Amino acid sequence: MEQSAKLSLFPVLHLKRSMLSLLFSLPTSFFAFFLLLLLSYNAFSVFYLHQSPPPVSAPKLLNLSSSANSPLFRNPHSPLLPNSTQSLSLSIQRAKRVKKHKRGLRSLRSEPRSPVSLFHSRLKAFFNTSSCQMRFFMTWISPLKSFGERELVSIESLFKSHPDACLVIVSKSLDSHAGTRILKPFVSNGFRVMAIAPDFGYIFKDTHAELWFNRLKEGNVNPGEVSLGQNLSNLLRLVLLYKFGGTYIDLDIIVLKSFSKLRNTIGAQNFDVRTGRWSRLNNAVLIFDKKHPLLFKFIEEFALTFDGNKWGHNGPYLISRVVSRVNGRPGFNFTVLPPSAFYPVDWRGIRGLFRDEIPSKWLVNKMKQIRKESFAVHLWNKHSRELKVVKGSIVDRIISSCCIFCST
């Protein structure tokens, strides 16, 4: 039995010895080549395992129906697949704007609810206790730290030409202890001015603005990329005049003459010399009776055609669109004054009024025109805020002629 097992293993042992003899008889270079192949294979395996890209999952398709229900993020002009640094930068900027709009919407939703609006009671008391010959409204949507000398000059100029007027500044930041200190010099000198935080629910009630505002709070209106505060200011001025009547002016308007003889008036910003007609109106100065039908149309247009992505669409361009449609129709009695009334210099030429240089023919003629024809001058703060008022410039002369606290 034992011997038979040894006999069965003999062929296997013989085969092994034969293979070893064959291998040892091969040249050394063959072993080196074989070893190199093994090392190469090993290195390739290691590299492939560590450097192979992870499996790519199928791209997720955008749910267009759900994005339509999320208006804060809806923008037909944004790329679906950003593939550049510029696109990434735009996406970051857009995210910041969306975050800012969300904060604004949260503050709107948190307005206190009460049976009697504090805004209504304060405004009523202010108008009833003040013998107002004229009512003026302003809005200030920026932080209090941005309220500076130029805005104070605007208020001074208003009271210089209208000492018996009442001024209401609708502003959350100015309706504060710090805001009261800023306006104290006017109140101490007998001028009737009040800052009051807006109650949008009360102000917009029973107008097309109410429907638009409710949709905004519910997230069914896309605020767009233009400042929501700016567009709220565009709407506020229209509804304030519609409900209370009076005059609205921006805080970068310098008043030169009394508005007492003006009624239901808008100013043209641009004038076409060839046709003799205005080409664009502006909403920085509006003078209207209470419940005027043109104001109703302005508010309706705002609610129906709101676009938060186009600068001016809900402001100057809105005024221009509506007036061009209703002009000449019965029941709409209003006046459009030429640019020299409120906008003697447009935003492209405003820098010239701040300079102190050898008077050019244009500057001399412009100063004569302003003194003769203008009720006010729009300083276009967006384009002139960083400009200094140089001594001797046209703006310097205008401010000197309409200031109240000149010596302080």
pLDDT tens across 80-138, in order?
Answer: 334 555 566 656 655 555 555 555 555 554 445 555 689 999 999 999 877 888 999 99
pLDDT in tens, 318-377: 999 999 999 889 989 999 999 999 999 888 888 888 877 656 777 788 888 999 999 999
| Average pLDDT of the residues in 34-38 | 61
In this prediction, residue 100 carries a pLDDT of: 57
| Per-residue pLDDT at 262 | 97
pLDDT score recorded for residue 381: 83
pTM of the predicted model over 0.75: no
- What mean pLDDT, rounded, does the chain reach? 80
pLDDT score of 195 more than 50: yes
pLDDT at 328: 85
Share above pLDDT 70 across residues of the chain, in percent, rounded to a whole number? 70
The predicted model gives 204-219 an average pLDDT of 96
pLDDT bin (cut points 50, 70, 90) of residue 276 is confident
- Cα–Cα distance, 248 to 318 (Å, whole number): 16
Query: Residue 164 above 90 pLDDT?
Result: yes
